[in-house]
Amino acid sequence: MLRELFPNVVIEDLKVAANETFYMTGISVLGTLIIGILLGLMLFLTDRQGKTYKILNFITATIVNVFRAIPFIILILLLFPFTDWLMGTIRGPKAALPALIIGAAPFYARLVEIALKEVDKGVVEAARAMGAKTRHIIFKVLLPESMPALISGITVTAINLISYTAMAGAIGAGGLGDLAYRKGFQAWDFDVVFACTILIVIIVFIFQFIGDFLSKKIDKR
């Protein structure tokens, strides 16, 4: 039956491609999480009176805004020299990682900033009144208290990243996007495109499910 519906699909190809997509998404979500939280904290913590803060805030905000403004497909091209220098190649799933992370982290940073702004000011003040250091406030108050929003934010970002990996695939990064593009578009085997779509949707659902589950489980409000 399946054979008839998908005559041109090679299971082995599909497996490899799905693995590559998982790999690219997984690593880039991790990278985005770390860099996005750092940038988001920067944005949040420097948003106050004082000249040094103002300057730092301006620099961070500018970086975030500029990289968010660049369309992803152009960002990949723009980053070719950097990618080549960093990863030693511009082809394959590994080569897609810098562009994926740099493309998604600024977006996530804004979500992080919003999440941190939602943390009850009174709780931060209570911590300060106890003699907490900035380090305590970040790791014991800000991050735990904004955790549900941080998780739903990274879920949204992860789903963006899956669609980015498909785009990156089109210019040689591998993964399901690449497979769909080469076999489906260039060889006109439309059943392959269809199979890739199903797999991508399944991957999106998996990420969404995990994200919703964690966010709900952690929220004790």
Partner 1 sequence: MISIKNLSKIYKSKDKMDVTAVDNLNLSINKGEIFGVIGYSGAGKSTFIRLLNRLEEPTGGEIVMDNKDMTSLNNQSLRNERQKIGMIFQHFNLLWSRTVFDNIAFPLEIAGVAKDERKDKVNELIQLVGLTGRENYYPSQLSGGQKQRVGIARALANDPKVLLCDEATSALDPQTTDDILDLLVNINRKLGLTIIVITHEMHVIKKICQRVAVMDNGKVIEQGEVLDVFMHPKEKTTRRFVQQVMGDQEEQSPIHYFVKNYQSGKVLRLHFVGETANQALISKLVKTFNVEINILQGNITQTKDGAYGTLYVHMDGNKEEIQNAIHYIHQTSVELEVEDHA
The tokens describing 42, both together, are 């920067």
Residue with tokens 């960093």: 86
Rounded distance between C-alpha atoms, residue 175 and residue 167, angstroms: 10
Minimum CB distance to partner 1 smaller for 49 or for 186: 49
The distance of closest approach from Cβ of residue 132 to partner 1 in the complex, given in angstroms and rounded to an integer, is 5
141 binds partner 1 (CB under 8 A): yes
Minimum CB distance to partner 1 smaller for 15 or for 133: 133
DSSP state letter for 133:
-
Can you say whether residue 163 is alpha, beta or left, with left for phi > 0 and alpha for psi between -120 and 50 degrees? alpha
Minimum CB distance to partner 1 smaller for 136 or for 182: 136
The distance of closest approach from Cβ of residue 134 to partner 1 in the complex, given in angstroms and rounded to an integer, is 10
The distance of closest approach from Cβ of residue 148 to partner 1 in the complex, given in angstroms and rounded to an integer, is 9
The distance of closest approach from Cβ of residue 220 to partner 1 in the complex, given in angstroms and rounded to an integer, is 4
Among 91, 144, 212, 213, binds partner 1 (CB under 8 A): 144
Query: 111-140 mask for partner 1 (x: CB under 8 A)?
Result: ---------x-xx-xxxxxxxxx--x---x
**What stretches of the chain show up as alpha helix (H) in DSSP?**
2-5, 11-45, 51-69, 72-87, 93-117, 121-129, 134-136, 143-145, 147-168, 175-179, 190-218
The distance of closest approach from Cβ of residue 126 to partner 1 in the complex, given in angstroms and rounded to an integer, is 4
The distance of closest approach from Cβ of residue 130 to partner 1 in the complex, given in angstroms and rounded to an integer, is 4
Q: Per CB under 8 A, which region of 104-112, 165-173, 188-196, 213-221 contacts partner 1? A: 213-221
**Cβ within 8 Å of residue 105, ≥6 positions away:** 31, 32, 35, 36, 39, 67
**Cβ within 8 Å of residue 215, ≥6 positions away:** 148, 151, 152, 155
Q: Which residues bind partner 1 (CB under 8 A)?
A: 120, 122-123, 125-133, 136, 140-141, 144-145, 147, 218, 220-221
